[in-house]
Chains A and B, each alone.
Chain A
Amino acid sequence: MQGLDLAYMLGLVPVLLSYVPLTLFMAVVAMALALVLASLLAVERVLRIPVLDQLVVLFISFFRGTPLLVQLFLFYYGLPQVLSVLTQIDGVTAAIMGLTLHFAAYMAESIRAAILGVDRSQWEAAQSIGMTRGQMMRRIVLPQAARIAAPTLVNYFIDMIKGTSLAFTLGVTEMMGATQKEAAGSFLYFEAFLVVAVIYWILVEALSLAQRLLETHLNKAYAR
């Protein structure tokens, strides 16, 4: 067992940090898109609009039922064989698309649970003052559901940040891809993977801090 090469690790830090913006860019864009998509899917699941409901069920079933890596390969290498215009999509876009669809399927279910978790009396009160179903969702139910769903949604975001490490298989050199290449060039596997692990860890810890602030904010109306 040889000692850790600390000089190598220190030298690697700025190199890997330069990939943090790309990792965060993919995760943040995919999260924003997934939130919108998942909310629409969840509302549909609660309202059960005919025909659309069957399609949404199929969508959720497929994207929850197959691994993210399979979906990424399907979009990036598979579909262009059927539709050649799809070769125009670059790796970053394909990775964001894959992450969005995959996580939207999961998040839709947790948002649906949160919507159903809003007390029934809130729905009845909204209806009693003549709100439409759309108004009721937007003004009364969703804001309260957001508070219930927040912790699980942050969990999905954390998972998404780590999920960006699969983008290297699509030719996107992100933080993990850069680490693999550096490790292959130096043979210092332990050092390289330790550095990248710590960087991911710090990123997620920073996010956990943001989560606490967000929860305080969402809970304001309920604080005594």
Chain B
Amino acid sequence: MSASSALASDTLRVGMSGGYFPFTFVRQDVLQGFEVDVMNAVAEETGLEVEFVTMSFSGLIGALDAGRIDTIANQITITPERSAKFAFTQAYVIDGAQVVVKRGNEDSIAGPADLAGKTVAVNLGSNFEALLRNLPEADKIEIKTYEANIAQDTALGRVDAFVMDRVSSAQLIQESPLPLALAGAPFSEIRNALPFRQDEAGLALRDRVDAALTRLRDSGRLAEISQTWFGTDITVATAAVEK
């Protein structure tokens, strides 16, 4: 809630939604998840004091732009539009876009090619809408953007499918009581990184954090954090994700 900029050089204000399991989520008032662990490790490496600021996902980019936070740790995918506006660190998660359907429908919708004529949910402000629009039959897909709860609405049958990253989709299906299933293989490689403002202070912070990510990668700490949350290393590219 605070926006102390007096100590801006020693404090890294990290924005996240707190509502993106298992990357950033809250249980019994405790903020936790993969992103929280990664940023705490970055803080240790850089000596920066990390301050987590949670807000609804759609407010995050605006808050970064307005200087209210220094970066966003919420699986932000590197896109040409975002790269033009923000300075990214190296990718620390490499993932794929995944179609998810209500359990029982995975035969009729077995991948992105079957989405023509269907209604598909994506999170507002996420990169998956753009990925859907790039599909060959994009004009036949009705895309619905959501502020939250896309999984719930798919399970309720209000939409035919949703598209999210492969890792959290798999995790969601495993951990949540919702009747959902993966529809086919992931269809596009996505690289997620930390965006910073493109001014002097922002670029300096970016370089510091990027160097810390390199050290965390080399020491195996990054892979270790991934193993605790996902049981697999999502911080490197795998053959399972088609380019």
Asked whether A184 lies within 8 Å of B19 as measured between CB atoms, the reply is yes
Residue of A nearest to B175 (CB): A187
Stretch at the interface among A87-95, A97-105, A132-140: A87-95
B27 at the interface (CB under 8 A from A): yes
- Bound together, the chains give a CA A168 to CA B31 distance in angstroms of 15
A201 at the interface (CB under 8 A from B): no
Q: What are 20 A-B residue pairs whose CB atoms fall within 8 Å in the complex?
A: A15-B29, A18-B29, A76-B62, A77-B59, A77-B62, A84-B67, A87-B66, A88-B3, A88-B5, A91-B55, A169-B59, A177-B56, A178-B29, A180-B148, A181-B17, A181-B54, A184-B25, A185-B25, A185-B27, A187-B175
A92-B1, A169-B58, A177-B54 given; A185·B21 CB < 8 A: yes
Asked whether A90 lies within 8 Å of B3 as measured between CB atoms, the reply is yes
A128 neighbours in B (Cβ, 8 Å):
none
A172 at the interface (CB under 8 A from B): yes
Q: What 0/1 readout, one digit per residue, does chain A (169-181) give for beta carbons within 8 Å of chain B?
A: 1111100011011
Asked whether B68 lies within 8 Å of A87 as measured between CB atoms, the reply is yes
Query: Which residues of A (63-93) have their CB < 8 Å from a CB of B?
Result: 73, 76-77, 80-81, 84, 87-92
A168 neighbours in B (Cβ, 8 Å):
55-56
A50 at the interface (CB under 8 A from B): no
A62 neighbours in B (Cβ, 8 Å):
none
Q: How many whole Å from B57's CB to the nearest CB in chain A?
A: 10
Asked whether A187 lies within 8 Å of B177 as measured between CB atoms, the reply is yes
B53 at the interface (CB under 8 A from A): yes
Asked whether B67 lies within 8 Å of A189 as measured between CB atoms, the reply is no
Count A-side interface residues using an 8 Å CB cutoff.
34
Q: How many whole Å from A9's CB to the nearest CB in chain B?
A: 13
Count B-side interface residues using an 8 Å CB cutoff.
38
Q: What 0/1 readout, one digit per residue, does chain A (182-211) give for beta carbons within 8 Å of chain B?
A: 111111110000000000000000000000
A2 at the interface (CB under 8 A from B): yes
A81, A89, A170, A188 interface centre (most CB from chain B within 10 Å):
A170
B238 at the interface (CB under 8 A from A): no
A80-B67, A81-B66 given; A169·B55 CB < 8 A: yes
A185 neighbours in B (Cβ, 8 Å):
19, 21, 25-27
Closest 4 CB pairs of A and B: A184-B19, A171-B55, A185-B25, A77-B62
Asked whether A171 lies within 8 Å of B26 as measured between CB atoms, the reply is no
Asked whether B149 lies within 8 Å of A77 as measured between CB atoms, the reply is no
Asked whether B176 lies within 8 Å of A15 as measured between CB atoms, the reply is no
A11, A187, A189 interface centre (most CB from chain B within 10 Å):
A187
Asked whether A181 lies within 8 Å of B1 as measured between CB atoms, the reply is no
A178-B29, A180-B19 given; A171·B65 CB < 8 A: no
B229 at the interface (CB under 8 A from A): no
Asked whether A87 lies within 8 Å of B25 as measured between CB atoms, the reply is no
- Bound together, the chains give a CA A169 to CA B3 distance in angstroms of 15
B148 neighbours in A (Cβ, 8 Å):
180, 184
A180 neighbours in B (Cβ, 8 Å):
19, 56, 148
Asked whether B26 lies within 8 Å of A81 as measured between CB atoms, the reply is no
Residue of A nearest to B148 (CB): A180
B58 neighbours in A (Cβ, 8 Å):
169
A11 neighbours in B (Cβ, 8 Å):
28
Asked whether B152 lies within 8 Å of A186 as measured between CB atoms, the reply is no
The 8 Å CB contact of A90, one of B2, B59, B69, is B2
Q: How many whole Å from A69's CB to the nearest CB in chain B?
A: 10
A15-B29, A181-B18 given; A187·B178 CB < 8 A: yes
- Bound together, the chains give a CA A188 to CA B152 distance in angstroms of 10
Asked whether A169 lies within 8 Å of B176 as measured between CB atoms, the reply is no
Asked whether A90 lies within 8 Å of B149 as measured between CB atoms, the reply is no
B63 neighbours in A (Cβ, 8 Å):
77, 171
Q: What 0/1 readout, one digit per residue, does chain B (4-33) give for beta carbons within 8 Å of chain A?
A: 010000000001011111000111110100
A81, A181, A186 interface centre (most CB from chain B within 10 Å):
A181
A91 neighbours in B (Cβ, 8 Å):
1, 3, 55
Identify 6 new A-B residue pairs, CB closer than 8 A, beyond the known A91-B3, A168-B56, A171-B68: A77-B63, A80-B67, A80-B68, A173-B54, A181-B17, A183-B19
